[in-house]
Amino acid sequence: MDKKKLSSKNLKLAIQKEGRLTEETLELLRKAGLEFESYKQKLFSLCRNFPLEILYVRDDDISGYVEKGIVDLGIVGQNILNEKQPKVRKLLNLRYGFCSLVVAVPKESDISTIKNLNGKTISTSYPQSAKRFFKENGISADIVKISGSVEITPALGIAEAIVDLTSSGSTMALNDLRVLTGIYDSEAILVANEKALTNGRKLLVDKLLTRFKGVLAARSYKYVMMNAPENILGRLKEIVPGLKSPTVSPLVQKGWISIQTVIKEEIFWETVEKLKKAGAQGIIVLPIEKIII
Ligand code: PRT
Ligand code: ZN
């Protein structure tokens, strides 16, 4: 790495170089208005319009770098935090990289509850998480650490069950495995070094955090415009209270108004149906670029 280019004044953020978190992490950074070059061979990037250096590393190394203060910030899966338990500060859930750590067994296995795993061999890349889970459930199992392809170990006769991450569930299905129970859910998290939050960098961290929150908030809302007869305004306000309250303006047509508001993505369709039923017309929906709260 070219040390001369790295400045101690800049904030440093470690992200996954190449993997399941990379694409959405880069998208988040770009949507937060950060300008930088990134291509696969790069080890780090300097932002042109923010005092930030982005370091591209393996996901397993991110929490350690943040804990040791090699970088101020990192974006890493909650699964890694649960497994390694680093002393870092969680700043923000980023709402991507969703997956779950689960216990799975071969489909034909007669194991039907986790209690049946007593005395059995379980392979995993998450030994600490697995050990904790089985201990909490009073089960004594032999945990074998495997660094990759955990899903094939039951077929190879190495283990009777596995503890592994799953998202779509297709890997489990392809390997004739069935999920017995979930251990925890995970998503990408922005974490910070404890000291980065107390020294002069705090201001920069806060600035970046506000930008990320703005991107996330915008993603979870839609901007909606509609026309409606004036006399149903009260009912519409109940259906869409908006961030504070909806913007209402009169239309040229007497007795009609135009309403502008925001609707939460997760309740979007049911809200639009309610609006139509109440008498709203010409409903226009727009994506929101950012919301600064
Ligand atoms: O090279 P590097 O060490 O950086 O990458 P890696 O290969 O160790 O990690 P990577 O890219 O696989 O995952 C990075 C992070 O993405 C993880 O730490 C999780 O936080 C998150 N994530 C989200 C996942 C998954 N979804 C996921 N499905 N990580 C791994 N998987 C695995 C899963 O274990 C299974 O083997 O993907 C496989 C396919 O899953 P299905 O259920 O979609 O078939
Ligand atoms: Zn990894």
Please indicate, yes or no, whether residues 79 and 27 belong to a single structural domain of this protein.
yes
Task: Please state the atom number of ligand 1 nearest to the C-alpha of residue 77.
Answer: 20
Please indicate, yes or no, whether residues 87 and 225 belong to a single structural domain of this protein.
no
Please indicate, yes or no, whether residues 76 and 206 belong to a single structural domain of this protein.
yes
Please indicate, yes or no, whether residues 172 and 197 belong to a single structural domain of this protein.
no
Question: Which of 130, 165, 185 lies at the terminal end of a domain, its last residue?
Answer: 185
Has residue 226 been placed in a domain?
yes
Kindly give the pairing relationship between strand 89-93 and strand 188-192: antiparallel
pLDDT tens digits along 47-73? 999 999 999 999 999 999 999 999 999
Instruction: Categorise residue 291: left if φ over 0, alpha if ψ from -120 to 50, beta otherwise.
Output: beta
Per-residue model confidence (pLDDT) at position 5:
43
Asked if 50 contacts 43 with a C-beta cutoff of 8 angstroms, the reply is no
Has residue 50 been placed in a domain?
yes
pLDDT tens digits along 233-277? 999 988 987 667 788 999 999 999 999 998 988 898 999 999 999
Please indicate, yes or no, whether residues 160 and 106 belong to a single structural domain of this protein.
yes
Per-residue model confidence (pLDDT) at position 100:
98
CATH of the domain at 7: 3.40.190.10
Per-residue model confidence (pLDDT) at position 243:
62
Per-residue model confidence (pLDDT) at position 197:
85
Please indicate, yes or no, whether residues 83 and 8 belong to a single structural domain of this protein.
yes
Please indicate, yes or no, whether residues 143 and 274 belong to a single structural domain of this protein.
no
**Closest by Cα among 243, 206, 211, 209 to 224:** 243
Q: Return the DSSP state at 203.
A: H
Residue 62 Cα to ligand 1 midpoint, Å, equals 15
Task: Please give all residues whose beta carbon lies within 6 A of any atom in ligand 1, as ranges.
Answer: 16, 19-21, 58-60, 77, 79-80, 97, 99, 151, 164-171, 186
First to last CA, the chain: 38
Q: Say what the pTM is.
A: 0.89
Domain that holds residue 167: 99-185
Please indicate, yes or no, whether residues 17 and 91 belong to a single structural domain of this protein.
yes
Number of domains in the chain: 3
Query: Residue ranges of the chain with pLDDT lower than 50?
Result: 1-6
Q: How far, in Å, CA of 81 to CA of 191, rounded?
A: 9
Can you state the percent helix, strand and coil of the chain, rounding each to 5?
35, 30, 35
Has residue 292 been placed in a domain?
no
